[in-house]
Amino acid sequence: MSYVIQKKSKIELNRLYEEDKSIHDWYRFVLSYPPHLIRSCINKFNLSPQATVLDPFCGTGTTLVEAKKLGYKSIGVEANPVVHMCASAKINWDLNIYKIKKISQHIAIVAIEEIEKNKNILNYPNEHILKLIIKDSMNFDLINQVLILLSIIEKYGDNYCDFYKTALAKHIVFSFSNLKFGPEVGVSKKKKENVNIVKTWLEQVMLMCDDLILHIKNKNISSSVILGDSRNQLSFIKNNSIDAVITSPPYPNEKDYSRATRLESVLLGFIKNKENLRDVKHNFLRSNTRNIYKGDDDFTWIEDNIDVRELADAIEKKRIELGKTSGFEKLYYKVVLLYFGGMAKHLYELRPKLKNGAQLAYVVGDQASYFRIPIKTSKLLKNIAENLGYRVVGCDVFRTRLSTITKEKLNEDILFLEYVNGRQ
Ligand SMILES: C[S@@+](CC[C@H](N)C(=O)[O-])C[C@H]1O[C@@H](n2cnc3c(N)ncnc32)[C@H](O)[C@@H]1O
């Protein structure tokens, strides 16, 4: 059966529907898949009310939030600390709303006073901050105001610090910064200067409280997010406990998730220096030339996979043919080997966690970022999954986009798998 919402227009498919905004919209990637996709998969899987859903690359938590709204238990894994914090805040609904509001009002009063005191002092943000963030991504004065607000959140925020910081994370990116996403992160020509940081933050906190009230009946549905690497840190999940997986891992396309989240990671203190940044990136599935490291050996997981090896060979051959010699270009073929090897490792580690008959949906996109050679991600993944004993149930097109390089249509597919214990 074809994917139910496939026939809707492209805008409809990508859109976060107005009625879905509560909680999902607290902090979200521009291209996060929409909640209605999760609903569609859950319907298709016909899960029992006791089922547990896993998202091993949970990002900002779309799967987990939607599962919880629908009354299903869920677990997520996310390797990026700031994203992990926001996803965790998005699924923690058992909070004292009265206290959150009261404390936030106090924080706002103290922050306004403190910002006022510092008004006429020309402060440059710390050197370490400027070294790590994208140049011109935010006005210095606004950075200082955010840092003042953050220090007061940390001082008075009690048990609600992550909630308050999530409210701040959203507006650092979308209201205070000069960043634009298209979908790669860049700096807009129009620079923001006069933004009322504290007011914007407080309004966001109040909106988030309203969302919690809206979903109060599901506040005790269990949901958690593990900060870790889905290629090798699934040991926190009980064996034989997962009924369904709905996820969208990174694709091999040069997108650097650490760059897209750099500003909030640095300002909120998750990345303090180059070593921190490196440690964070080290836990990511290898999907771009900026996160490849000496000693990476995930390719060993697909050494006997002819299709992936032929693809990597074709990319390297093309590079030589075109006379391309930059360090990054020399790594293109390696990204492909490490990416599919990493996914194989992940699917291998996942098996013991799955219940017999578990159903899986992997949303992945085709790519052409490496010398225009097509990378049919879902087709290659299908092959890897089959070799690991998963049954391929189907593969539906979720959406298509135009490649900026080749101007050809690239599919984003949903690969449906089933895990039958003991199947070879
Ligand atoms: C395509 S995004 C997922 C977006 C998500 N569906 C959402 O709703 O926001 C992929 C996510 O995988 C994370 N990631 C990359 N490598 C990972 C790994 N080895 N283990 C866990 N998460 C990883 C990235 O940080 C990113 O947040």
Residue minimizing CA distance to atom 24 of ligand 1:
59
CB-based pocket (< 6 A), ligand 1:
29, 32-33, 57, 59-60, 62, 77-80, 83, 229-231, 248-250, 257, 283-285
Per the structure, the complete domain to which residue 163 belongs is given by 97-214
Of the residues 185, 214, 243, the one at which a domain ends: 214
Quote the CA–CA distance of 193 and 132 in Å, as a whole number: 21
pLDDT at 4: 44
In a domain, 31, yes or no: no
Say if 309 falls within a structural domain.
Answer: yes
3-state secondary structure of 242: strand
For ligand 1, the distance from its centroid to the CA atom of residue 322, given in whole angstroms, is 33
Contact criterion met (CB below 8 Å) for 26 and 34: no
One domain, residues 301 and 424: yes
SS3 394: strand
**Position 360 in a domain:** yes
Q: What is the DSSP letter of 191?
A: P
Q: Which residue has the higher pLDDT, 422 or 31?
A: 31
Q: Which of 312-321, 328-337, 372-381, 396-405 has the lowest mean pLDDT?
A: 396-405
Question: What is the model's pLDDT at position 14?
Answer: 74
Ligand 1 closest atom vs CA 29: 9
- In this predicted model, what pLDDT tens digit does every residue of 130-184 receive, in sequence order? 899 999 999 999 999 999 999 999 999 999 999 999 999 999 999 999 999 876 8
Q: Which of 30-34, 308-312, 397-401 has the highest mean pLDDT?
A: 308-312
pLDDT tens track for 267-303: 999 999 999 999 999 999 999 999 999 999 999 999 9
The atom of ligand 1 lying closest to the CA of 60 is 9
Boundary residue ending a domain (195, 214, 233) = 214
* Residue 105 placed within a domain: yes
Q: Tell the residue nearest (CA) to atom 26 of ligand 1.
A: 59
Residues 304 and 209 in one domain: no
Region 236-256 average pLDDT: 94
**Is position 12 within any domain?**
no
Round to whole Å and give the CA distance between 299 and 338. 5
Nearest CA to ligand 1 atom 12: 57
Q: Under 8 Å CB-to-CB from 9, ≥6 apart: which residues?
A: none
**Whether residue 306 is found in the same domain as residue 411:** yes
Q: What is the pLDDT of residues 346-387, one digit of tens each?
A: 999 999 999 999 999 999 999 998 999 999 999 999 999 999
The residue whose CA is least distant from atom 13 of ligand 1 is 57
353 vs 226: CA distance, rounded Å: 15
Q: Are residues 112 and 196 both part of a single domain? A: yes
Stretch 70-77: mean pLDDT, rounded?
98
Q: Is a pLDDT exceeding 60 seen at residue 336?
A: yes
For the chain, how many structural domains are there in total?
A: 2
Q: pLDDT band for position 1 (50/70/90)?
A: very low
Q: Over the stretch 76-112, which tens digit does the pLDDT of each residue have?
A: 999 999 999 999 999 999 999 999 999 999 999 999 9
| One domain for residues 423 and 302 | yes
Going by pLDDT thresholds of 50, 70 and 90, the confidence category of residue 256 is confident
304 and 395 in a common domain: yes
Distance CA 284, CA 231 (A): 9
CA 101 to ligand 1 centroid distance, Å: 31
| Residue 20's pLDDT band (cuts 50, 70, 90) | very high
The gap from C-alpha 2 to its chain's centroid, in whole angstroms, comes to 26
Indicate if the pLDDT at residue 402 is higher than 80.
no
Q: Does residue 212 register a pLDDT over 50?
A: yes
Helix (H, G, I), strand (E, B) or coil at 118: coil
pLDDT of residue 257: 86
Has residue 243 been placed in a domain?
no
Same domain, 201 and 109: yes
Question: Is residue 364, in this structure, part of any structural domain at all?
Answer: yes
Classify residue 23: in a domain, yes or no: no
| pLDDT value of residue 6 | 47
Percentage of the chain lying above the pLDDT 90 cut:
84
Q: Are residues 185 and 302 in the same domain?
A: no
Residues 303, 422, single domain; the answer is yes
pLDDT of residue 405: 67
CA distance 263 to 383: 38
249 Cα–ligand 1 center, Å? 5
Assess whether 208 and 301 both reside in one domain.
no
Last residue of a domain, one of 170, 187, 214: 214
Say if CB 298 and CB 341 are below 8 A apart.
yes
Task: Tell me how far the alpha carbon of residue 57 lies from the centroid of ligand 1, in angstroms.
Answer: 4
Closest residue by CA, ligand 1 atom 16: 284
